[in-house]
């Protein structure tokens, strides 16, 4: 499994910095990831090399023209390979981890069209695009960050991209829940102690405690996630216990000491 991405943008340099560091850089070096950048301006048709124009019907702002996008897609697809064409846009369907998992299994190369300005000629959407994605309900200045977010989230699902497979294993353990809290040395810092169970070496107890803390954090911060999370009978038991207020807001260890108040 590997992935190939073609990106159409007026700001190719925005991608080079992020793709040139850390995990994605190594994935590209290993051949697990292939990203090709296409500057939309190189596919313009007029002498001013314009990628946008005024909207028909009037109004403020500029609209991305269809011809340069069409030409870029034509050039990209000239190798005859099948491709999935994705438009980054605030009106696209919400991109989620589910989408990332589906796209990680996609065998076709993916073309990302990054919008900018007030909009993009509607005919691009109608005739040149397979899927339209938004990464969330907030306003960006363009689709470039959205494309990077999507590429990043797909890349880390490709086997071999993350150094160890353990982090992926732990992800399936916590599927749909928030992370349990992490600690490293020292065991005490300014009076704040690492939970005793983590120092005990009892791995069964450690994992039980971590599961409980992940459930507690999720119940406290993102109760909406619990509806979709994969929970077994023991998880539901733990949740029932946590639902009595003080278990949610306070750690189990603290509970005994503060019991004097009740
Ligand atoms: C006045 C309507 N605006 C939509 C909220 C116009 C508009 C604002 C910003 C049109 C495009 C943009 C640039 N954003 C993207 O291209 C974009 C985006 C986003 O802004 N939020 C979340 N996901 C995405 S994907 C592409």
User: Residue 136: CB within 6 Å of ligand 1?
Assistant: yes
Residue 163: per-residue pLDDT? 81
Host domain of residue 115: 3-165
Weakest-pLDDT range from 4-8, 31-35, 244-248: 244-248
Cα gap 78→197, rounded to integer Å = 60
Of 106, 136, 165, the residue that ends a domain is: 165
- Report the CATH number at residue 195: 1.10.1270.20
Cα gap 194→186, rounded to integer Å = 8
Strand partners, 86: 112, 131
- For residues 88-100, average pLDDT: 97
User: What is the residue-averaged pLDDT of the chain?
Assistant: 92
pLDDT in tens, 182-215: 999 999 999 999 999 999 999 999 999 999 999 9
Are residues 199 and 252 located together in one domain of the fold? yes
Distance, CA 51 to ligand 1 centroid (Å)? 17
Nearest CA to ligand 1 atom 4: 90
User: Residue 113: CB within 6 Å of ligand 1?
Assistant: no
User: Residue 95: CB within 6 Å of ligand 1?
Assistant: no
Comparing C-alpha atoms, which of 5, 18, 21, 75 is closest to residue 44? 75
- Decide: 24 and 55 in contact? Cβ < 8 Å: no
- Report the alpha-carbon angle 94-99-102, nearest 5: 160
pLDDT in tens, 54-69: 999 999 999 999 999 9
Are residues 147 and 207 located together in one domain of the fold? no
| Percentage of residues of the chain with pLDDT beyond 70 | 89
Are residues 150 and 24 located together in one domain of the fold? yes
Strand partners, 33: 3
Comparing C-alpha atoms, which of 39, 38, 30, 33 is closest to residue 4? 33
Q: Which residue has the tokens 């639902």?
A: 243
Q: Which of 10, 69, 140, 144 to mutate to test the pocket of ligand 1 (most atoms within 8 A of CB)?
A: 140
Q: What are phi and psi of 152, to 5 degrees?
A: -60, -45
Of 141, 165, 189, the residue that ends a domain is: 165
Residue 238: per-residue pLDDT? 96
User: Residue 140: CB within 6 Å of ligand 1?
Assistant: yes
User: Residue 148: CB within 6 Å of ligand 1?
Assistant: no
Q: Which helix (H) or strand (E) holds 242?
A: helix 233-242
pTM higher than 0.85: yes
Domain assignment of residue 170, yes or no: no
Are residues 14 and 86 located together in one domain of the fold? yes
Q: Which helix (H) or strand (E) holds 120?
A: strand 119-120
Cα gap 262→251, rounded to integer Å = 16
Distance, CA 12 to ligand 1 centroid (Å)? 18
Query: Is residue 247 pLDDT above 60, yes or no?
Result: no
Distance, CA 59 to ligand 1 centroid (Å)? 17
């Amino acid at each position: 499994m590997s992935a190939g991405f073609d990106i159409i943008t007026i700001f190719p340099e925005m991608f080079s910095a992020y793709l040139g560091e850390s995990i994605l850089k190594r994935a590209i070096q290993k051949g697990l990831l292939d990203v090709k950048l296409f500057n939309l301006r190189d596919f313009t048709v007029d002498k001013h090399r314009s990628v946008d124009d005024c909207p028909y019907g009037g109004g403020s702002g500029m609209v991305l023209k269809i011809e340069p996008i069409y030409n870029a897609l034509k050039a990209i697809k000239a190798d005859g390979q099948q491709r999935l064409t994705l438009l980054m846009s605030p009106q696209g369907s919400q991109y989620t981890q589910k989408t990332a998992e589906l796209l990680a299994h996609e065998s076709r190369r993916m073309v990302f069209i990054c919008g900018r300005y007030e909009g993009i000629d509607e005919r691009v959407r109608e005739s040149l695009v397979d899927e339209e994605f938004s990464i969330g309900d907030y306003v960006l200045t363009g689709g470039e960050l959205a494309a990077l977010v999507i590429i990043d989230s797909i890349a880390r699902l490709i086997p071999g991209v993350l150094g160890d497979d353990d982090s992926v294993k732990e992800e399936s353990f916590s599927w749909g829940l928030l992370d349990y809290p992490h600690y490293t040395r020292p065991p005490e810092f300014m009076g704040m102690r690492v939970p005793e169970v983590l120092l005990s070496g009892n791995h069964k107890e450690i994992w039980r405690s971590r599961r409980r803390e992940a459930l507690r954090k999720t119940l406290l911060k993102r109760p909406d996630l619990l509806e979709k999370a994969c929970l077994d009978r023991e998880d539901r038991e733990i949740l029932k216990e946590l639902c009595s207020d003080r278990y949610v807001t306070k750690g189990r260890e603290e509970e005994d000491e503060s019991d004097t108040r009740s």
